[in-house]
Structure 1
Amino acid sequence: MDDTHALWISARDNAVWAPHGIASLAATHWLDATERRFDGIPGIWCADDESAVGRELPWEVRLRPEEQTRCGELALRAKGRAGSVALRVLDPAAAARRGIARIERAEFSPSRRVAGGFTPSSRAVVAESVDGHHTETQYHGIVSFVLDGLEFELTVQREGDGSLFAAFADATSGVQSYRFRFLRMDGPDADGRVELDFNRAYLPPCAFSDHYACVFPPPGNRWTVPIAAGELVVR
């Protein structure tokens, strides 16, 4: 394993297992105009103008999506989706209550790092989330590559910083690995070339908590061959 990959693993572990990291999500409460109380958190909460609003607290709280406030050891964060808003509860003790503490990873292999070519191809697809919600998702191109002598195509989204993101499933999914995984790549160069490093395939947030609503991979990103690389399952 090279030093760069070791640093990537360290950053991932910190993002997952930090006190209010990915694995700390204890609840997601979808809000509407009706004020409600929820077990384990103070105040009464409702949605107003796509914000999560909390009252009967030391002060009124109004959280836009991705904004958060602290309540003792808890962090309360707003989550937006298709015009709706939820209140997420991040609890440092949540992972321990679920009995999870580490990520099982495949052994690092330089052969899992391959070159690919990006072809722009903008299209909208109705995608399903793990909680059954359907939403239109915009994809921005195809990355073609060869791995172990086999040709693949990966439907990707372009992020705001120019990088590429994809969700994929393979023959290990649901057996040796979680149902699907994520992969990020630096943006293509002027000739459309990209590098895919499946050593850095990583688990979606919903692998750590049932209260996330990750989107399943599009049909073209579900392969019948195994890619035993990167993060596999939570232990």
Structure 2
Amino acid sequence: MALPDTFDSSTDTFSSDWASWHEARERGTASPFGLASLVATHWLSSAPQQFEGVFGTWRSGLDGIIGDGPELDGLTVLQGGRPVRVISGTSLTLTRGQDIEWGDRRLRYFERDGALALRILDPEAPTRTRLRGIDVFEANPEWVVEGSFSPAAPDSRLEITAIDGHISDDTPAGTVALAFPDGLETLTVVHERGALHAVFADGTSGTETYRFRFLDMPSPDEDGRVLVDFNRAYLPPCVFSDFYVCPLPPAGNRLARPIRAGEKNVLIED
């Protein structure tokens, strides 16, 4: 896939930092087991199931995903991408953060609201082999907007609808009021990986950009101030494969104004 040219020392810090972020996004999504390599998400029950193209039987258990089959013997279990043990025998319980190396593919643990699924990652997935990059708007410092964070009430709940129709409840972190030159906008945010996170749509969604995007923000300072960089708005995983279950934007996060910053859509070979 095409990657941005190397920037020389004359490039300003804002542009070079953004270019490094963009390059990391392209490399990460197109890596052999990156977002574009997912070819299946098999939801499990307590009864053993067989899945086309996958050896053995698989079911959910109290401690994780239980796999049974002679093909398991000798395979390697990864935790966070690092080998932790070799399977000895014909049964295994796969837990959070674990994969099984299966030839050139991987079997991965996945959980949503207590329901378990077995995911299959394949570097030869057409979604990966045909991926040619991520289309983006040109980075512009004017899309770095000052925000003011207001925490949610302790008993607040946020209804989240996923792209597959699944509905779940989350705890919102609060809202961020954004001071655009021509007025205020507000985004509902949640806590994620020690920072703030929003799912949003805007006036470009479904035309110039994918139907919605993700945005991470740093934690606010002691006065609630936070800088929101829309240049780093990024595509959800479901753009790269149909087997992700991305959350859709909550009602208040559908902005009428066009946000012409960040990632637009994937570039696919015809």
Q: Which residue identity lines up with residue 149 of structure 1 in the other structure?
A: D
Per-residue CA distance 1:138-187 (angstroms, 9 max, x = gap): 111111112242311010012242x1000000111111111100000110
Please give the residue correspondences for 1:165-204 in structure 2 after superposition, counting only pairs within 5 Å: 165-204=197-236
Higher-Rg member (1/2):
2
SS at match of 2:28: helix
Instruction: Tell me, in whole angstroms, the C-alpha distance in 2 between the residues paired with 1:221 and 1:90.
Output: 31
Instruction: Tell me, in whole angstroms, the C-alpha distance in 2 between the residues paired with 1:52 and 1:173.
Output: 37
SS at match of 2:215: strand
Q: Give structure 1 stretches of 5+ with no counterpart.
A: none
Give yes or no for contact 1:95–1:101 (8 Å, CA) kept in 2: no
Give yes or no for contact 2:146–2:178 (8 Å, CA) kept in 1: yes
2:168 to 135, 138, 148: 135
Q: Which residue identity lines up with residue 224 of structure 2 in the other structure?
A: G
SS at match of 2:101: strand
Q: Residue in 2 aligned with 1:23?
A: 36
Please give the residue correspondences for 1:108-127 in structure 2 after superposition, counting only pairs within 5 Å: 108-122=139-153, 123-127=156-160
Please give the residue correspondences for 1:201-216 in structure 2 after superposition, counting only pairs within 5 Å: 201-216=233-248
Q: Residue in 1 aligned with 2:108?
A: 77
Matched, 1:6 2:19: yes
Instruction: Tell me, in whole angstroms, the C-alpha distance in 2 between the residues paired with 1:10 and 1:107.
Output: 13
Q: Which residue identity lines up with residue 266 of structure 2 in the other structure?
A: V
- In the TM superposition, residue 50 of structure 1 has moved relative to its aligned partner by 5.3
SS at match of 1:9: helix
Per-residue CA distance 1:178-211 (angstroms, 9 max, x = gap): 1100000110111111010010000000111110
The 1:83–1:199 alpha-carbon spacing in structure 2 relative to 1, beyond 3 Å, is: same
Matched, 1:47 2:60: yes
Give yes or no for contact 2:32–2:123 (8 Å, CA) kept in 1: yes
Per-residue CA distance 1:108-157 (angstroms, 9 max, x = gap): 11111111111111421221100010111211111111224231101001
1:32 to 45, 64, 67: 45
**Structure 1-normalised TM-score?**
0.94
Give yes or no for contact 2:36–2:125 (8 Å, CA) kept in 1: yes
The 1:149–1:7 alpha-carbon spacing in structure 2 relative to 1, beyond 3 Å, is: same
The 1:208–1:35 alpha-carbon spacing in structure 2 relative to 1, beyond 3 Å, is: same
The 1:217–1:96 alpha-carbon spacing in structure 2 relative to 1, beyond 3 Å, is: closer
Q: Which residue identity lines up with residue 4 of structure 1 in the other structure?
A: D
Instruction: Tell me, in whole angstroms, the C-alpha distance in 1 between the residues paired with 2:180 and 2:103.
Output: 49
Give yes or no for contact 2:159–2:250 (8 Å, CA) kept in 1: no
- Count matched residues: 234
Instruction: Tell me, in whole angstroms, the C-alpha distance in 2 between the residues paired with 1:28 and 1:92.
Output: 15
Instruction: Tell me, in whole angstroms, the C-alpha distance in 1 between the residues paired with 2:134 and 2:183.
Output: 28
Q: Which residue identity lines up with residue 37 of structure 2 in the other structure?
A: S
Instruction: Tell me, in whole angstroms, the C-alpha distance in 2 between the residues paired with 1:97 and 1:119.
Output: 40
RMSD (Å), alpha carbons: 1.5
**Structure 2-normalised TM-score?**
0.82
Q: Residue in 2 aligned with 1:233?
A: 265
- In the TM superposition, residue 98 of structure 1 has moved relative to its aligned partner by 7.3
